Structure 1
Amino acid sequence: MSIKIVWHHEALGKQTRQTVSVLNAELILTKVGDVIVDASWQAAARSERDQSALAKQVEAYLLNPDRNPLEVQLLRQGTEYYQRIWQALLGIPFGDVISYSALADKMDSGPRAVAQACKNNPYAGIIPCHRVVAKSGVGGFMGQSQGEMILLKRRLLAYERSVAESAK
Structure 2
Amino acid sequence: MQTLCLKTVLGDLTLFEHDGKIMALDWGHGMDAPRVTDCAPLCQVAEALRRYFKSGQEEFIKLPLEAHGTAFQRQVWGEMQKIPPGQVKTYGQIAKILNSSPRAVGTACGANPLPILIPCHRVVGQNGLGGYSGGDGLDTKTSLLRLEGYL
Relative to the length of structure 2, the TM-score reads 0.77
Please report the RMSD computed on the Cα atoms of aligned residues, expressed in angstroms. 2.9
Matched, 1:155 2:143: yes
Structure 2 residue aligned with 1:136: 127
Conserved 8 A contact 1:17-1:29:
yes
Structure 2 residue aligned with 1:41: 27
Q: 1:103-137, CA deviations, whole angstroms, 9 ceiling, x for partnerless residues?
A: 21122110001001101111112100000011222
Structure 2 unmatched runs, 5+: 29-35
Q: Secondary structure at the match of 2:2?
A: strand
Match of 1:120 among 111, 118, 122: 111
Matching residue's letter, 1:154: T
Hey, what's the Cα distance between the residues in 1 that align with 2:60 and 2:119? 15
Matched, 1:102 2:90: no
Conserved 8 A contact 1:20-1:56:
no
Match of 1:111 among 81, 102, 106: 102
Following superposition, the deviation at residue 40 of structure 1 comes to: 2.6
Q: Which moved more, 1:64-73 or 1:131-140?
A: 64-73
Relative to the length of structure 1, the TM-score reads 0.70
Aligned pair count reads: 140
Match of 2:18 among 18, 32, 49: 32
Structure 2 CA distance for partners of 1:84 and 1:69, relative to 1, 3 Å: closer
Following superposition, the deviation at residue 33 of structure 1 comes to: 4.1
Structure 2 residue aligned with 1:20: 6
Structure 2 CA distance for partners of 1:32 and 1:150, relative to 1, 3 Å: same
**Percent of aligned positions with the same letter in both sequences?**
29
Structure 1 unmatched runs, 5+: 1-14, 43-49
Q: Secondary structure at the match of 1:136?
A: coil
Conserved 8 A contact 1:99-1:134:
yes
Match of 1:58 among 37, 41, 49: 49
Structure 2 CA distance for partners of 1:51 and 1:25, relative to 1, 3 Å: farther
Conserved 8 A contact 1:124-1:142:
no
